[in-house]
Amino acid sequence: MAGLVDETALYNDVIDVITTQYDDVDERKRPDKHYRYRLELYVGDTPYEAIKVVAVDVQRDFQNEFSESLIVEAVLGVGTYAHAIYPNKQGLTAKLYRQLVLTAANGKIVTDSAEESWDYQCIIVGDQSPSVVASTEATSDQETGDRSDVINVELQLIEQIVDEFRVVEVGGIFKDCTVKQILTLFFANVQRPETPPSSLTVTSEDYLEWRLKNLVSGAHIIEPDNTRVYDHIVIPHGTRLVDLPNYLQKTYGVYKTGMGYFFQKTIWFIFPAYHTRRYDSVEQTLTIANLPANRMPGVEKTYKVNDPIKHYGKVYMLATGDVVQKDHSERRQMNDGNAYYHVNADKVMDVFSTTSANVTTINDEDHEVQAAVESRIHTNFLKLSKDAITHNAFVENSRLSRQVGSHVQIRWENADIDQVYPGMPVLLLYILDGNVAKLYGTLQRIDQDSTAIEPGPTEHRHLRNAVITVWVERDKTD
C-alpha cells in the first residue's frame, strides 16, 4: 500500500538535484553532460568510419530478454555503402566510440575522460539494396558514390559475448547442491574449469564452453528463496545457457516473486523480478520523484548519484515528463484467482493417508499447500494449481506476485541509463491530495533514445532521453 512521506524531505531532495554545484566534482560523475559518438564498420581488418552517428537507441528489457538491443543510425557515403559495406554484410563487425563532453563550453571534452569503445557483431537492418536507394551514377564506383550522395543506414549491434552466449548449451547431473550453487557455477565466473566447486559433481563432459568465463566479470545473484539442498539437480543436455535460470525456476524453484536475469556491462544480474520490498535492505537504489508533467520540461540536471560502489550507487532521479500506469491487478485476481492450492509431492507417499480398520483417511492438512496473495472483500478465488501435484510452490507464488502490482512508465530526460541496473529496487514518490505518497517497486525495463543535438554533419553531441518501466506494489489509496 502506498504510504505518505514528509513533503519537506522530498522537496529538499528535488532542489538538491537541480541546484547542486559541480565545480568541485569529478567531471566524469557530473549529470550535466553529453556523449559524442562515432562509429567504425569493419570488413575484415579494414575500417570504414561513418560520417555521422545520427541516433543510438538502447532497449534493456530486464523481464523478457537476457541482453540489450542496440540500434544505431549512421550516415555513410553511398559509394562506401554500395561497394564495401553491403557486399560484405554477412561478416560485418563494428566499433562504437563514446566520448564524454560537457553540455556547456560547446561540448568541451571532460578532463581525464578517455574515449570508450565497444566491439560488436553488425547486422544491417532492413537490408536495403544500394541499387534501389541510389542512382547508377552514384554507385558506379566508391569514390564517385561518396562524392555524390550519402545514405542513412540502420544497424543492429550485438555484443560479441552475447552472440556467444546465444549458442552455448549445457547439461549435467549435480549432486548435493542448491539452485544458487548451480547459478553461481554457470554465471559467476568463480572457479577454474578443471576445478569446479567440490560440492558439485559434474557427470557430463564439457557441459559449458568455458572460454566464455574469461569475458564475464561475475554475477550479482540475489539470495534465492529456495535454499533446499537437493540430492540431485538434473539439467538435460541441450539446455541453452540463456534458458537455464528459467529452467531452474520452473523445475525446482528459485524465487517466489518471479525470475529475472540480464547480462549488462560484463555482469550477470539474477534477481526476483516482482519483489517490491528490497529498497530498505539494499545500498544501491533508485529514488524517483514524479513531478507534475511540464513543471520543469527540459531541465538539464535530472539525477544525482551518491555513494557509488563499484559500478552503481544511490540514484535520485526527477521524472519531469508524462507518466503512464497500467494496473491490471484487479482483473487478474478476478479471472486467475487470488489464491491457490496443490498437493505437496514430497509428502504424497508418506503422509498422504492413514489406514486403520480397513478405512483409509486422506490427511489434507499434511500434504495440501495453500497460499493467498491477499484477502478480497467479497469472494476469494482459491484456484487449483496448473501442476496439481508438485514440490515447487515457487511458480505459483510467482504467478500470484504479478497480481498485486502494476507497471508504471516514467520519462527520464537527459538520462544516463548506465547508472541503473537490472532489478534495481525503486522508491517512487508522487503527489496525492496535496501530500507526498510513496510506492515501492523494482526496475523492469529502460528504453533510451540518443539523438544528435543538431542536424549538421559536424555535430556529434547527443541528447539522451529514456522511458523507465517500474513494477510497483498495488496502490490502494485511490
State the cell numbers at 115: 574515449
Of 271, 327, 226, 288, nearest to 440 by C-alpha is 288
Residues 184 and 257 in one domain: yes
466 CB burial (10 A radius; 0-12, 13-18, 19+) = buried
Residues 207 and 250 in one domain: yes
Is residue 277 situated within a structural domain?
no
Q: How far apart are CA 294 and CA 412, in angstroms?
A: 12
Listing DSSP states for 50-63 in one string gives -SEEEEEEEEEETT
Is residue 349 situated within a structural domain?
yes
Is residue 63 situated within a structural domain?
yes
Q: How far apart are CA 378 and CA 370, in angstroms?
A: 19
Residues 267 and 348 in one domain: no
Output the furthest CA–CA distance in the chain (Å, rounded). 99
Close Cβ partners of 61 (under 8 Å, ≥ 6 residues apart)? 69, 444, 445
Residues 241 and 365 in one domain: no
Residues 130 and 209 in one domain: no
Hey, what amino acid is at 430? Y
Q: Report, in angstroms and rounded to the nearest whole number, the Rg of the chain calculated over CA atoms.
A: 26
Residues 124 and 173 in one domain: no
**pLDDT by 10s per residue, the chain, length 478:** 455 455 556 556 666 766 666 555 555 556 667 888 999 999 999 999 999 999 999 999 999 999 999 999 999 998 899 889 998 998 899 999 998 887 655 556 666 677 889 999 999 997 666 666 555 556 677 888 888 888 899 999 999 888 888 888 888 899 899 999 999 988 886 444 344 443 333 333 333 444 455 567 788 999 999 999 999 999 999 899 999 999 999 999 999 899 999 999 888 999 999 999 899 999 899 999 887 766 666 677 888 888 765 578 889 888 876 777 665 555 555 556 555 544 565 555 555 556 656 565 555 555 555 555 555 555 555 555 566 566 667 787 777 777 778 889 998 988 889 899 999 999 998 877 777 788 999 999 999 998 887 777 666 678 888 999 999 987 655 5
Residues 86 and 125 in one domain: yes
Residues 178 and 201 in one domain: yes
Q: How far apart are CA 121 and CA 106, in angstroms?
A: 33
> What Cα–Cα distance (Å) separates residue 81 from each residue in 76, 85, 92, 118, 153?
6, 5, 12, 22, 9
Where is the domain boundary, 165, 184, 215?
165
- Domain range spanning residue 41? 31-165
Residues 159 and 105 in one domain: yes
Confidence (pLDDT) at 168: 84
Residues 35 and 117 in one domain: yes
Is residue 303 situated within a structural domain?
no
Is residue 7 situated within a structural domain?
no
Residue 94: half-sphere exposure toward Cβ, Cα within 13 Å:
27
E strand spans, 310-457: 312-319, 323-326, 339-344, 353-356, 359-362, 368-372, 382-390, 405-413, 425-432, 435-452
Confidence (pLDDT) at 420: 94
Is residue 359 situated within a structural domain?
yes
Where is the domain boundary, 375, 392, 409?
392
> What Cα–Cα distance (Å) separates residue 322 from each residue in 237, 410, 462, 475?
48, 7, 22, 19
Is residue 246 situated within a structural domain?
yes
Is residue 53 situated within a structural domain?
yes
Residues 182 and 242 in one domain: yes
- When divided into structural domains, the chain yields a total of 3
Confidence (pLDDT) at 197: 40
Of 27, 165, 149, 30, nearest to 81 by C-alpha is 149
Residues 151 and 46 in one domain: yes
